[in-house]
Structure 1
């Protein structure tokens, strides 16, 4: 998306009609607009979001220019208008937002809005100007730039600080959604959701079989219960994130307190040991369960040994003559002559020997099968010989954990009591204990919900299997179940592909973001990105996480937004890639205030190289530095000319 121009009429302090064009050259892609605080930088930034979505963050919702309204007569109408022209996917759009205002004779409310905001979207097709239908307007705007993603491309210094704090404090869920949408993963999730609904819609017709209707209802009820559990689990996660951040904050305060330094150090060691013990227990339980996989063989060992004893003489069954059947022997005895010509007279040794073969030839001969059975029995008996000893050893390890774990827990409680008794950190410690208790309760509830969810899912699978068995008895239902199986296969395949592509995106994003982050802050720090897009800042030299400053947090969000833009631009050059997106411009209101001169230089160098277009509002105090470092990347220079507090003009 490339912004071409913005035309305003009486929008806040921008009096009359004012027309602004933006630099859109591939090299000189930066537009700099400078002005003092209060001149209109934030207002102009808000004009973009009002034009697109009808939203602003102003406390005063009256957008009509006060200078204009002061000259209006009672009952007179004036219009606030914003017209944004942009290029999206090689199509030129003009988006118009209009709101009427009327002058009143009320002292407390001299101006009021009339009717609803009117929005229009015009585009050029084959050289002709066409209008997007009202019913399709929201969909077209969502296609150009969804409102929930706009904050990542139209932002001010405060907004970017909040986003940086969110990412560094484990609140990356919203950013994760933005990344997936911007990099084309939304197509996957939309298809997966659609297939999931389709699978649920395929229900066998009950007809005269009431059991089918009962199963359908039971499965539907289980789905609702599972959805309810998943929503609660998501709520718990949202509660856990700020609690974790608060606990870290309180622990930091305690550790910084000189009177509690030693206690805090001991506590930190105990917490490390506490975590190691929990990890050890979890590992031992996993190994115990792995050993328990031999249980079927172990519990059937007695029966297998008895069976081996019963068939221990079965070796004689190996005396059977290959390819000779009972009918063959019967025929030879009846004709009283062997195939070799030997006479077979009743009572002779030869006759008796041949007659005894009836015990070893089919159908009485099962020698091969028994030998097979004996081999399998011996192998299984041998495989589980040490199971009991292994389980006893693992169980002993788990039991020994409990004793040490309780000791560590008790020591932690004692330290917490001592810390809470200190006057200078007593309240902090009490708050910490309260948050930790709440977090433990949430953790316990989460474990219980996961167990409950597993039970419900198992029950649902069992019901679906039983329903499938019933449904397959009917021809029409067999067709429905076939369609459901196709949909399930597509769902599973697409979900697997999505997970694969999402992992690639996350890995590439982390790499891209770190390259940009290093350009801004140097090589001392790196960013780690988990599956939920939460960010951990790592000290490269010694490892481990690090607390972040305001400048670092802002650098994080700069790096992430720039990284996503970089990947979006790269995806356009990937002819065979599944994920293709549109690059977006950056419109920033005073983003450089939190940086020192060195960082401003780096940011000014990095952003124009990555973003397709940069529109930056800068305080006059930062203007010279930005001008110096943006250099020949600047394609348009504009400034705010404030006549007074309610009347400003943009001049070139």
Structure 2
């Protein structure tokens, strides 16, 4: 989607009809709009989203849309139109969207009446044919979903929210929508609904026995879904508490008297994490060893039994490697293996008979062959037993060290609570509560996960019983096959979703990190955590406290990354909707206010390279200097918001704004 123009008529600060033609050039893809505080910069941003989406504007007095000066000039009972019109392009289609209201001035001059908004969307295809789009909401949401609008039309003074505590849902939703993960989730949801409809139909066609089984299945699935929902809630609670804990720890670190104690706490927590990881690895090794080699412990009894049955050949002729059957075959052939003829009365025949009588059939030979190989088994068994002892010994030692660290951390927690510094004490209490909250939710989550396993086993058992019952009835066979097809599709979708989520998270992670490096001068890295939070870490992998400007840069890096990935995917030839991309504009209101000069230069020099269209609404102080130097040669269109100050112009006693184009050097 590329925005071509916007026209405002008597909308909020904007008096009369004002139009901006945005730059659609590939080389000069920046449009700059200059406006001082109070001139209508945020109102311009709101006008765009008000036109596109069915929602109120996010400004003071949101119900008042008409310009004050226009309202002042109106006569009682006079009616006028307030509207915003946008033209934009997406692929081979051009769009024109207009949202308007009728405003009537009542006899009481301070009162006004707004009509219900009228919205029209017109689309022109590549052949030049124009038609009205009846379902404009679906069309706009296909181009830029309403739940993503704040990423592409955003207020720079609030954009740092994405890197603040509690932002994980916003980050997660942005990733899922831009990277089309929501398509898979919707497919799973819809397929499951179809499966349930087939089950109802199948139940209606079945016998009383079948109906009873299906009713039980419905109840079991409801219970399963309720447990899943509980687990999801506990995970959400844990994620929120962990975000809050990180923020609280950062606040404590900023208290000068607590700095050393917090560093000590951080060091011990790092060591504790290391101990837990080692314990986990040793536990895995022990389980693997016992699972794959535990049977060797039983060879002790087998070895003793074989030893008791071994034949002693020390005083016998022949060798245990020769079987009685072989000797019988030699005698029968009449020729010895040495070439001598064997006759009835020959000494060779008698020698062979004596050797055969010394052997107790094949049993002795097999047992002794086993005993010869038992040495290797015993060696492997002894190694397994010794390694198991070593693992247990190391685990016991690490558990002792872990216990010491936990005790020391508890003491630090007590020091934080009992400190004389009121702020630190309150934060310490909050930290203790959060830790308890996380611990409790972790326990509750594990309990529900065990219940989920039990319920899954119950469902699997029920499914086997159901299949047996269904085979007795031919009427339900078709619906059974349909059900199985749905279940197979669901399993496939879930596997694809799992893989897709990991791929997407890694791709977003890499792109955000790359852009973050370009934007920020410090050697920090930004991580998209497992819980979809934007976490900034130092060179040691520890979370760091951020200034407002650094939070803004973190959020900008994330937004630029997902827009850049979507643009990249749109250029690629893809076979599926999952790899579909899109072109999105980036409209930024006051994006540089919280940044110092170095960061302004970094952001201004890179942001326009990551998007097809950049619209920047800035004050003079934000524009002049580093931003202008880096963006001037990329600017295709430039406008000024001309503000009428009633204190300086008594002939026009109401404030309003007009838009004027500035001639650029390009």
Q: Which of the numbers 651, 655, 658 marks the counterpart of 1:649?
A: 658
> Do the aligned partners of residues 585 and 248 (structure 1) sit closer, same or farther apart at CA in structure 2, a change above 3 Å counting?
same
Partner of 2:104: 102
Q: Which of the numbers 554, 557, 575 marks the counterpart of 1:556?
A: 554
CA distance in 2, matches of 1:483, 1:310: 63
8 Å contact kept, 1:294–1:387: no
8 Å contact kept, 1:54–1:97: no
Partner of 1:228: 226
1:32-54 CA-partner distances (Å, limit 9, x unpaired): 11011000110001000000013
1:280-307 CA-partner distances (Å, limit 9, x unpaired): 3333333343344359957998999999
> Do the aligned partners of residues 272 and 633 (structure 1) sit closer, same or farther apart at CA in structure 2, a change above 3 Å counting?
closer
CA distance in 2, matches of 1:570, 1:258: 46
TM-score, normalised via structure 1 length: 0.81
Partner of 1:192: 188
Q: CA RMSD in A?
A: 4.1
**Residue 408 of structure 2 is aligned to residue 411 of structure 1:** yes
More moved, 433-442 vs 201-210: 201-210
CA distance in 1, matches of 2:472, 2:296: 39
> Do the aligned partners of residues 255 and 604 (structure 1) sit closer, same or farther apart at CA in structure 2, a change above 3 Å counting?
closer
Q: How many residue pairs align between the two structures? A: 606
1:252-290 CA-partner distances (Å, limit 9, x unpaired): 344454545554444333323332333333333333433
CA distance in 2, matches of 1:419, 1:260: 8
CA distance in 2, matches of 1:613, 1:201: 46
CA distance in 1, matches of 2:462, 2:261: 55
Partner of 1:22: 22
CA distance in 1, matches of 2:17, 2:496: 51
CA distance in 1, matches of 2:294, 2:474: 39
Mapping of 1:124-135 within 5 angstroms?
A: 124-125=124-125, 126-133=127-134
CA distance in 2, matches of 1:90, 1:156: 30
Shift of 1:31: 1.1
> Do the aligned partners of residues 381 and 121 (structure 1) sit closer, same or farther apart at CA in structure 2, a change above 3 Å counting?
farther
CA distance in 1, matches of 2:131, 2:573: 30
> Do the aligned partners of residues 413 and 572 (structure 1) sit closer, same or farther apart at CA in structure 2, a change above 3 Å counting?
closer
8 Å contact kept, 2:217–2:459: yes
8 Å contact kept, 2:82–2:101: yes
1:122-153 CA-partner distances (Å, limit 9, x unpaired): 111332321112xx222112112110011110
8 Å contact kept, 2:250–2:544: no
Mapping of 1:514-553 within 5 angstroms?
A: 514-522=513-521, 524-540=523-539, 542-553=540-551
CA distance in 2, matches of 1:533, 1:230: 20
Q: The residue matched to 2:101 in structure 1 has which SS?
A: strand
Shift of 1:310: 14
Partner of 2:178: 182
**Residue 604 of structure 2 is aligned to residue 607 of structure 1:** no
Shift of 1:20: 1.8
1:127-184 CA-partner distances (Å, limit 9, x unpaired): 2321112xx2221121121100111100111231212x24xx5733322322232233
> Do the aligned partners of residues 629 and 533 (structure 1) sit closer, same or farther apart at CA in structure 2, a change above 3 Å counting?
same
8 Å contact kept, 2:297–2:381: no
> Do the aligned partners of residues 146 and 433 (structure 1) sit closer, same or farther apart at CA in structure 2, a change above 3 Å counting?
same
Shift of 1:608: 2.0
CA distance in 1, matches of 2:149, 2:310: 79
CA distance in 2, matches of 1:213, 1:303: 55
CA distance in 2, matches of 1:651, 1:268: 56
> Do the aligned partners of residues 147 and 255 (structure 1) sit closer, same or farther apart at CA in structure 2, a change above 3 Å counting?
closer
Q: The residue matched to 2:157 in structure 1 has which SS?
A: helix
CA distance in 2, matches of 1:488, 1:300: 43
Structure 1 stretches of 5 or more lacking a match?
322-359, 361-369
Partner of 2:6: 6
More moved, 542-551 vs 198-207: 198-207
Q: The residue matched to 1:8 in structure 2 has which SS?
A: strand
Q: The residue matched to 1:98 in structure 2 has which SS?
A: strand
> Do the aligned partners of residues 250 and 536 (structure 1) sit closer, same or farther apart at CA in structure 2, a change above 3 Å counting?
closer
> Do the aligned partners of residues 458 and 388 (structure 1) sit closer, same or farther apart at CA in structure 2, a change above 3 Å counting?
farther
Partner of 1:282: 280
8 Å contact kept, 1:9–1:16: yes
Q: The residue matched to 1:7 in structure 2 has which SS?
A: strand
Partner of 1:444: 443
1:521-576 CA-partner distances (Å, limit 9, x unpaired): 24723323334433332334x55443322222211222222222222222222124
1:205-239 CA-partner distances (Å, limit 9, x unpaired): 35564443333233322322332233333333333
CA distance in 2, matches of 1:305, 1:102: 103
Shift of 1:446: 1.9
8 Å contact kept, 1:175–1:533: yes
8 Å contact kept, 1:294–1:384: no
Partner of 2:459: 460
Partner of 1:121: 121
Shift of 1:602: 2.5
8 Å contact kept, 1:76–1:103: yes
> Do the aligned partners of residues 525 and 94 (structure 1) sit closer, same or farther apart at CA in structure 2, a change above 3 Å counting?
same
8 Å contact kept, 1:516–1:559: yes
Shift of 1:429: 2.0
